[in-house]
Each structure stands twice: as C-alpha cells, then as structure tokens.
Copies of this chain bind each other. A is one copy, B any other.
C-alpha cells in the first residue's frame, strides 16, 4: 500500500498562474479572471475556451493573491472552547458540512481562556482580513468585547447564547433543564442533586445559569425546596464530574436523583455511583442534557438537542450574514427522551 519514491527533489513543480492561462487561451488576464469567477461580460465562447485551458493547466487562483486584491477571503473562522469534546465536535461537523458545500474554508481555533477569546475576536475582526465571518460556539463575550465587535462590523454568529446585533442559534436552556427536573419530580423524587458546569467567569457564564434556573423553576413549580448542599459544579467532562459526584453521593442523605447539565456530566455521575456501589436507577436516577451518541447504549434519560443541527444552522445564518442578510435568532427545539437511568423513587 505505501508508495516509495525517495524524495529526490523538493522542487515545487511550478504551477500555472493566471498569466499562463491568459497566454494559452489568447486573452488577457482580466478576461481570465472574469471568466473563471463567472462574472458577466465574457462571451460564451471565450469563457468556454478559458475554462478549458484552465482545467487543462489545473489552474487555481492563489488564494493569498486573490484575497489581497479582492478583500474577500472565502474563509470562516470557528472558535470553540475545546475541539476534542463531543459537543463541539458535533457542532463543528455540522458547520463544516455546510461550509464545504458552499466552498468556504474553515479555520478552527480552540479558545481555552479569555486571552484566546480576545485574540480570536481581534484576529478575525473585519480589519484582520483573515476571514469573512466567524462563529463562536459556547464562548460568551464580556460586554466590552461584544460592543467592540458590533462597532467593528464584525460578521459573527454565536451558538449557545445570544447577542443582539448578531445572528445566533440556541436552545431554550431554562425549559430544557426544567423539563428534565420535572420528570424526576414526577417520578417521586424530592431530593434532586444538581451537577452543574463550572462557570468560569471568563468563558462560560451563560448556559450554566440558565440550566440552573430551570432546575430551580421546576422545584418551585412543585413547591419543593432545593438543598444547596447537593448542588455541585465540575468541568463538563465525565472524569471531573465523577470525582465531584462521588463526594455528593457519598453521604447518608444523598439525593435520590441527579440532574446533570450535560450527558457527559451525567456519565460521570453514573461512574461515581458505580464507584460507590450504587445502582442506577434503583438507588439513583440520573438525567442529562444532549442525547450524546452513547446515551442510548448507556440508557441515559436525557433532554435531546440536535447538536449537529445547531452547527448546520449556524453555518446557514453565517452564509446569510455574509450575503448581507438580516440578523436572525433561531431556537432549536429539545425533547425529553426516557431511558433506563430514571425510575420512581424507592419508597
């Protein structure tokens, strides 16, 4: 299968430039440029000839030169906290699919902290000329940044949260969470733990409070008190939640159910339960949010959000924004999916 061919010459085979095409087609470079980009004012015959020659020579405009001259980059920058995470990978997948079809390049950036966030914004601002627009996934902006971005005329679409001035795609986080908790309450649970996402003040201060609000709202609606003692936060990974979950569950008055802000966190809670010899759902009911790929096999009850769809929709809004379309906010629906991780409270 592999191929051998001892790298003899690192000589980069010279590539045809627009001038070569012009020469070969017997027209000017201006005409080649117009013909290839499908601009008007080119005779059909001429266009065909140019296209044929270009194909023959495998001509491809130098993107850097085209950008410099035209100003547009045909590139979209996408920023996510961590590209290796299930949720973000799915979103990026959805974006990529649309962008590939539209002929845009996708520049992917990890945004682990506030410094990278501001760097991302600056680099990808219209003046930066690196991309035509950008998408920020679950990366909240502080007001100054948002204001500056708007002032800069930044073409930005956000997913996970919403800013006036930019298109966005979100879910109704409060409702999603309260729906999950209501389900638990309807099963007779009265002590319901919360496994929350850490609200690093610089990065993720939008989604967690909303989901927490849903948790509170469901309690309130049922006339139940919440116990801050069984409310914890962890990084939204399975491992971190497992560790934190262990301390929440390792107590005589442990909750009989836990609402986790994401499926991965729910997995962590299940692992914690397992570590302590507790059975799900007999000893502990668990519900998450996402409908992760493995949630069915694991039997996790969850509130489903179409993550891939989130990304695809974001890409669509972005393309609209590039075309000069209006700002739109899209809210993707969610759905409670019942599986085997939740059961009536044991009397």
- Complex Cα distance A5/B143, Å? 11
Name the distance in Å between A82's Cβ and chain B's nearest Cβ.
7
Residue-wise interface mask of A (225-264) relative to B, using a CB-CB cutoff of 8 A (1 in contact, 0 not): 0000000000000100000000000000000000000001
Name the distance in Å between A163's Cβ and chain B's nearest Cβ.
4
Question: Within 8 Å of chain B (Cβ to Cβ): is A203?
Answer: no
Residue-wise interface mask of A (12-24) relative to B, using a CB-CB cutoff of 8 A (1 in contact, 0 not): 1111000000000
Question: Within 8 Å of chain B (Cβ to Cβ): is A344?
Answer: no
Task: Let me know if A90 and B97 touch, CB within 8 A.
Answer: no
Q: Which residue of B lies closest to A10 (CB)?
A: B153
- Complex Cα distance A62/B85, Å? 31
Name the distance in Å between A169's Cβ and chain B's nearest Cβ.
14
Assuming A267-B294, A297-B298, is B3 touching A147 (CB within 8 A)? yes
B-contacting 9-mer, from A28-36, A103-111, A190-198: A103-111
Task: Let me know if B110 and A96 touch, CB within 8 A.
Answer: yes
Provide the residues of chain B in CB contact with A39, threshold 8 Å: none
Question: Within 8 Å of chain B (Cβ to Cβ): is A277?
Answer: no
Task: Let me know if A130 and B165 touch, CB within 8 A.
Answer: no
Provide the residues of chain B in CB contact with A15, threshold 8 Å: 125, 127-128
Residue-wise interface mask of A (65-107) relative to B, using a CB-CB cutoff of 8 A (1 in contact, 0 not): 1011000010000000011111011101110110010000111
- Complex Cα distance A13/B154, Å? 10
Q: Which residue of B lies closest to A292 (CB)?
A: B294
Name the distance in Å between A90's Cβ and chain B's nearest Cβ.
5
Q: Which residue of the partner chain, among B14, B60, B128, contacts A128 with CB atoms under 8 Å?
A: B60
Task: Let me know if A13 and B151 touch, CB within 8 A.
Answer: yes
Task: Let me know if A84 and B94 touch, CB within 8 A.
Answer: yes
Task: Let me know if A205 and B1 touch, CB within 8 A.
Answer: yes
Task: Let me know if B58 and A122 touch, CB within 8 A.
Answer: yes
Provide the residues of chain B in CB contact with A3, threshold 8 Å: 141, 143, 146-147, 150, 163-165
- Complex Cα distance A88/B92, Å? 12
- Complex Cα distance A127/B12, Å? 7
Question: Within 8 Å of chain B (Cβ to Cβ): is A323?
Answer: no
List residues of chain A with CB under 8 Å of any chain B CB: 1-7, 9-15, 58, 60, 62-65, 67-68, 73, 82-86, 88-90, 92-94, 96-97, 100, 105-110, 116, 122-123, 125-130, 140-141, 143, 146-147, 150-153, 161-165, 205-206, 238, 264, 267, 270-271, 274, 292-294, 296-298, 308, 327
